[in-house]
Structure 1
Amino acid sequence: MASLRDIKHRIDSTKSMKKITGAMEMVSASKLTRAEQNARSFVPYSEKMQEVVASIAANNTSVDHPMLQSREVKKTGYLIITSDRGLAGAYNSNVLRNLHQTIEKRHRSKDDYLVIAVGRVGYEFCRSRNLPVAKSILGLADQPNFADISELAKETVQMYSDEEIDELTIFYNHFVSRISQEVTTKKLLPLTDLQTGLGSASLSQYEYEPGEEEILNVLLPQYAESLIYGALLDGKASEHAARMNAMRNATDNATDIIDDLSLTYNRARQAAITQEITEIVGGAAALE
């Protein structure tokens, strides 16, 4: 049985850990509030961009843009969004497990796919398993701006335009609520589902200048890049929520451990006192 000193040391250590996890929970909660606002405020822009692009594609069948056309898939690109740090529960492992299962199911050779990694955890996961990482970005801010990933987004979309990849799929955690995040797999390119989520009545009428095809050539890459940025904002909100919940669970577990150790300490202390009293009484009786 552990000594009273050892038990007391474990109680003090657990209390210190509880203070740290409690502080980290509050920090993540503060970051989550802003990240949630960023993710939700980006939705109207994305929906309006989708509406404009869908309007052009639906009203002009002569428009033939490579990003709107499916082609034979010879090589697939996977863009994964993870965090740069751990202590976020199953936030990273769920995304990486989904990626690994997809690769195992769809591909027999590493020449058939490549990975674009956003976040250190995903990057190190791919490197440790010798997965072909074409591009990566590490150390993003907790509240990223579009400028932080604009170069990566443009290069990724350009890879599709240059036919280096024939489709692009993104893996990230979708923010549902502060206690719920869903691992999402979304086919980002080609853009074959522009009408999804848009009713015919919601489409506005537009006049285009100089022409629909010229505007589409500009808007489609921007729209694809905005989808990547939107997924990143969504993922960041999920990351802060997952870390907040993980730290809350750690704090609750620390409280339970402290209670159990305190009970053990009190019992051991009572046993030691009883033993001392017994020895004193026994010694007094021996002197009589």
Structure 2
Amino acid sequence: MGAQLRVYRQKIKSAQTTKKITRAMELISASRIQKALARVSASTPYSRAITRAVSAVATYSNVEHVLTTEPEKIDRAAIVIFASDRGLAGAFNSQVLRESEELATLLRSQGKDVTYFLIGRRAVGYFTFRKRASERTWIGGTDAPQFETAQEISEALLESFLRDASDGGVDEIHVVYNRYVSMMTQTPEVVRLLPLEVVEGVEEPGENAILPLYEFEPGVEEVLDSLLPVYIESRIFNAMLQSAASKHAATQKAMKSASDNADKLITTYTRLSNNARQAEITQQISEIVGGADALSSAKN
């Protein structure tokens, strides 16, 4: 009985230690989430404005640009996966990796070769463990993304997109990341980055509507050449910020759940420890009473 009591006390102490760690990580994530959300809020309007500008140029001009024109045949596609450098975030990394696998399956079913660009140690570790190749990888800084990293990623994507598929380039680029919805919900998002597919902020004109007249100075191609790199940088950086905010929210949720589970374990093992202690006391009292009865019977 004494050995069982020691086991329960050891488990209570272990659960208390675990709770201290998970509670500390929960508070750290709670302190970081507000800053991450502020960066997302500051980045989103700029990203939308750039997207509207690119959409306007692409919609109201007749110039065929390589970054906005749908190719006749797509032989090779790239998937950019935004994961995190650290774990302990619930399903944050698994759901974005699962979404990328489903997208890759869909692209391969359409006869396209798939290559990967990986952001975050968890994505790199996932591919390394399975001995799968990737085009480029970036690790470090996923908790607090820097714009310089987004520029580096954008340059690599543009260089690969402008290169011919026969020379190792790609014909289209998809990004997969976790979009922050609320503290309880972070959903995986799939967006085709290039060629420009979704026209945001530009309404379809009616049948009798007169299209607006735009004059571009310099020419349309020069405007697109200047706007599109900025557009890609802003979308990549916004995806990085969304992913960082989602990761902090997922970590806070996971650590709160772990702390609550630790509380339940402490309560359960405390009750079992009390039961074991009570049984031990009862046994000791029974032994004392039994010994006293034996002595009293011997005297008689």
Residues 11 and 175 of structure 1, relative CA distance in 2, 3 Å threshold: same
**Quick one: distance in 1 between partners of 2:292 and 2:181?**
71
Q: Which one of the candidate residues 225, 238, 241 is aligned to 2:233?
A: 225
Match of 1:260 in 2: 268
Q: Percent identity?
A: 37
The amino acid that maps onto 1:65 is H
CA offsets, 1:151-170, max 9 Å, x none?
12211122111230011111
Match of 1:140 in 2: 141
Q: What TM-score, normalized to structure 1?
A: 0.93
Give how far 1:204 is off: 9.8
Q: Which one of the candidate residues 270, 275, 287 is aligned to 2:283?
A: 275
CA offsets, 1:93-144, max 9 Å, x none?
0111122233234327x99111000000011111222322000100115221
Give how far 1:206 is off: 7.0
Match of 2:173 in 1: 168
Whether 2:189 is the aligned partner of 1:184: answer: yes
CA offsets, 1:189-238, max 9 Å, x none?
11022x2344469x998764323321211111221222111111111100
1:81-100 aligned at under 5 Å gives the runs 81-100=82-101
Moved more, 174-183 or 206-215: 206-215
Residues 111 and 185 of structure 1, relative CA distance in 2, 3 Å threshold: closer
Residues 141 and 174 of structure 1, relative CA distance in 2, 3 Å threshold: closer
> Is contact 1:114–1:131 with CA below 8 Å preserved after alignment?
no
Whether 2:243 is the aligned partner of 1:239: answer: no
The amino acid that maps onto 2:69 is Q
Match of 2:219 in 1: 211
State the aligned residue count: 285
Partner of 1:88, secondary structure, is: coil
**Quick one: distance in 2 between partners of 1:256 and 1:227?**
43
Match of 1:118 in 2: 119
> Is contact 2:84–2:143 with CA below 8 Å preserved after alignment?
no
Residues 13 and 80 of structure 1, relative CA distance in 2, 3 Å threshold: same
> Is contact 1:175–1:235 with CA below 8 Å preserved after alignment?
yes
> Is contact 1:56–1:212 with CA below 8 Å preserved after alignment?
yes
Residues 206 and 52 of structure 1, relative CA distance in 2, 3 Å threshold: farther
> Is contact 2:60–2:214 with CA below 8 Å preserved after alignment?
no
**Quick one: distance in 2 between partners of 1:205 and 1:261?**
75
CA offsets, 1:37-70, max 9 Å, x none?
1111111101111121122122221x21101011
Residues 141 and 132 of structure 1, relative CA distance in 2, 3 Å threshold: closer
Give how far 1:186 is off: 1.1
Moved more, 15-24 or 122-131: 122-131
Q: CA RMSD in A?
A: 2.2
Structure 2 gaps, min length 5: 206-210
Q: What TM-score, normalized to structure 2?
A: 0.89
Partner of 1:133, secondary structure, is: coil
1:51-130 aligned at under 5 Å gives the runs 51-61=52-62, 63-71=63-71, 72-107=73-108, 112-130=113-131
Whether 2:48 is the aligned partner of 1:38: answer: no
Partner of 2:157, secondary structure, is: helix
Partner of 2:181, secondary structure, is: strand
The amino acid that maps onto 1:172 is Y
> Is contact 1:87–1:246 with CA below 8 Å preserved after alignment?
yes
Larger gyration radius, structure 1 or structure 2: 2
Structure 1 gaps, min length 5: none
